[in-house]
Structure 1
């Protein structure tokens, strides 16, 4: 009998291939052969627009899910932060690899470190003319709103492309700084470039995206593939991801919204979670903790707090908008 070779769907970027090789190596350790099947998603092809303008992060995931359901591939490797909050019927996250550092990093050119030094003028003091400040590259509204509020960095411009491309745009002066995920930089071994300076954001304050730093492997629910992937699963990471995705689902967060969630499962079995949603002109933060057995309930409670806090402002805005329409 011919030995089965499991097909793993992946994007073709250097980071995606690196993450897929990590999964393949873990499978090889338990005697399983696999091959990578590269798919070019709509998100990979439309590189000149921010993601939220043509479907959000789901554009990196949906086509893989269709291939799994059709049987063309057995599983797909995702950056968990790119996944929608709800997995489609018939599919499941079969494995989460141990979480890498979930923080964001502001990368600047050595010799142009406007963010270092400790002084307010170095840490992004607000200026009367935002365009006169350092130009920061990111297409994430979550990152942008926290940059503006916490550091007064107002000159933010869209940035697309893979990690090496973004760093090259920084080096050539198109940007004065770029915001990237620490996990991606580390996996590509691009976190110690001698001509660059790296400022790691405190993940407890400058909150990451839900699932940031996590490699998730998606497959059909039930059956041989899910059973196989459970051998690779890291339980702590699984719990943290479930809580963060549960919060996102609870607030019905769209892919383009400035929303963040960061959960940490402690050695004592307590899950501590902090979330953020931008609304009414500022970032609103909420936090809570619960034993592991109540993680889903904690996510639900935090979602309820966010919705309750923002609803009055949103309803007032809807009322004002409606009044203007009537007057017009």
Structure 2
């Protein structure tokens, strides 16, 4: 059977179509694959800012029309480019596992002295979503005192936009990380030139992966859409065998939310949905055309929820109350090899006398740690966003796979995913423990604290407990012997709201 696959002419579009082709070939059904290249309306106009273009299908309509004419069998799109309303005669019938949905910020190394001296930064982007969400992020995320953030419009494929960055007076650019990853990961010799061009541009920049919690992606960012005629039941059956149901479901959720607000790339709205073993995480952030601010971080947890508690029966009663340990810095510390990548559990875990270059990969456990490190003049490349050290970093194309990862934490901290522990402090129990008598609901920031509390108050084993995902959850579950009374929350504040509102 011959399957004609249509896509846009850019290298990235061809790579994406070939990914679908490889998936179809893996079914070992002997399909003969043909690729048809088409220039889209959006490709022809490279000057108009993205938000001024017509909102429906400027990058996809031409391919959909080829489907209707019977000139191709499948069209492969970047799903975020498709109109939110499905066509009358065509439909997205499948997708592949999603690439990274985050954005990548690149700052020219040669512009850094100017940024420091002027306390201002100019970023290339034509996305209203990025301009709205990233502006505040830049004020705290970089190791510089940024007072002014300006944006300038840029159009073209990734290579063109990177060239424009170095031909302009702008300091940086924001691009979809999925596109960068796919270009750098393309192994066919045909793409060697573009790989080298992209790699050269990145090497001339400092980079950071923008957290989803401050800048969720465009709905469907990082996902491919495989479109076909609704009447082609044979293709629906074939594509069902390569379809990633998890990605499909998450993208449908994202697009439905954006549709509720009027939808389209003209909106200043980001929406990302992540499926994790502990539940579905939804991140919504931006502003509607009517000026309504949107900011929601929601977890549909698969874990049990505690019944409503009585006022005063939960601990800690506020985010700062109580601690079981003093953190005692270890002496005679040796700084890890400069080639090692650092995963920093909290800001104080990175000794102040260590000299960390901007090229040393520095990844933080959460955003509070990021903010504190950037104030110390340290370049942070990204964060696990309080989802645990097992949260995928997805840096295979930006960081050598042979690079060792070192976790900076306390002496007895657990590690995972082959990470090496570099203890920089030890936990010394305080002489006076927090008072936990009569408490029925607890939120823990570490399994070490729970273990220490259990020694002094063994009765709390039958109470209701909560924590964030990751090693803390795994450690508490192990100590309890089960997770029947152990919940996962994204923050102390979310837990506090829930236990005061949910019904028994």
Normalising by structure 2, we get a TM-score of 0.51
1:7 touches 1:34 (CA, 8 Å); kept in 2?
yes
Indicate whether 1:169 and 2:164 are aligned.
yes
Q: Secondary structure at the match of 1:58?
A: coil
Bigger RCO (CA 8 Å, 6+ sep): 1
Indicate whether 1:23 and 2:20 are aligned.
yes
Task: Please name the residue that 1:232 is paired with.
Answer: 242
Which runs of 5 or more structure 1 residues have no equivalent in the other structure?
Answer: 116-120, 126-132, 293-328
1:220 touches 1:226 (CA, 8 Å); kept in 2?
no
**For residues 199 and 85 of structure 2, what CA distance do their matches in structure 1 show?**
32
2:281 touches 2:300 (CA, 8 Å); kept in 1?
yes
Q: Secondary structure at the match of 1:203?
A: coil
Q: Deviations over 1:9-32 (max 9, x none)?
A: 100011101111111111122232
Structure-2 change in CA distance of 1:235 and 1:155 (3 Å): same
CA displacement at 1:202 relative to structure 2? 0.5
Indicate whether 1:258 and 2:253 are aligned.
no
Q: Deviations over 1:259-307 (max 9, x none)?
A: 1110011224x32211123146674212334479xxxxxxxxxxxxxxx
1:239-278 → structure 2 map (5 Å cutoff): 239-268=249-278, 270-278=279-287
CA displacement at 1:175 relative to structure 2? 2.2
1:160 touches 1:166 (CA, 8 Å); kept in 2?
yes
Task: Please name the residue that 1:287 is paired with.
Answer: 297
Indicate whether 1:9 and 2:6 are aligned.
yes
1:76-155 → structure 2 map (5 Å cutoff): 76-113=75-112, 133-152=120-139, 154-155=149-150
**For residues 243 and 114 of structure 1, what CA distance do their matches in structure 2 show?**
43
1:55 touches 1:255 (CA, 8 Å); kept in 2?
no
Q: Secondary structure at the match of 1:263?
A: strand
**For residues 136 and 42 of structure 1, what CA distance do their matches in structure 2 show?**
26
1:44 touches 1:60 (CA, 8 Å); kept in 2?
yes
2:124 touches 2:173 (CA, 8 Å); kept in 1?
yes
Q: Deviations over 1:16-68 (max 9, x none)?
A: 01111111111122232211111111100000101232313620112222221
1:96 touches 1:215 (CA, 8 Å); kept in 2?
yes
Q: Which is worse superposed, 178-187 or 66-75?
A: 66-75
Which runs of 5 or more structure 2 residues have no equivalent in the other structure?
Answer: 140-147, 185-197, 303-504
1:191 touches 1:198 (CA, 8 Å); kept in 2?
no
**For residues 301 and 230 of structure 2, what CA distance do their matches in structure 1 show?**
27
Q: Secondary structure at the match of 2:107?
A: strand
**For residues 88 and 301 of structure 2, what CA distance do their matches in structure 1 show?**
28
Instruction: Give the 4+ runs in structure 1 shifted more than 4 A.
Output: 279-283
Q: Deviations over 1:46-101 (max 9, x none)?
A: 00101232313620112222221222211111111111222112322111111111
Q: Which is worse superposed, 142-151 or 211-220?
A: 142-151
Task: Please name the residue that 1:304 is paired with.
Answer: none
Structure-2 change in CA distance of 1:217 and 1:191 (3 Å): farther
Q: Secondary structure at the match of 1:59?
A: coil
- From the two aligned structures, give the one with the greater helix fraction: 1
**For residues 202 and 69 of structure 1, what CA distance do their matches in structure 2 show?**
40
**For residues 281 and 89 of structure 1, what CA distance do their matches in structure 2 show?**
32
1:41-60 → structure 2 map (5 Å cutoff): 41-56=40-55, 58-60=57-59
**For residues 224 and 113 of structure 1, what CA distance do their matches in structure 2 show?**
55
2:133 touches 2:286 (CA, 8 Å); kept in 1?
no
CA displacement at 1:134 relative to structure 2? 2.3
Structure-2 change in CA distance of 1:282 and 1:106 (3 Å): farther
Q: Secondary structure at the match of 1:60?
A: coil
Match of 2:227 among 195, 218, 222: 218
2:219 touches 2:270 (CA, 8 Å); kept in 1?
yes
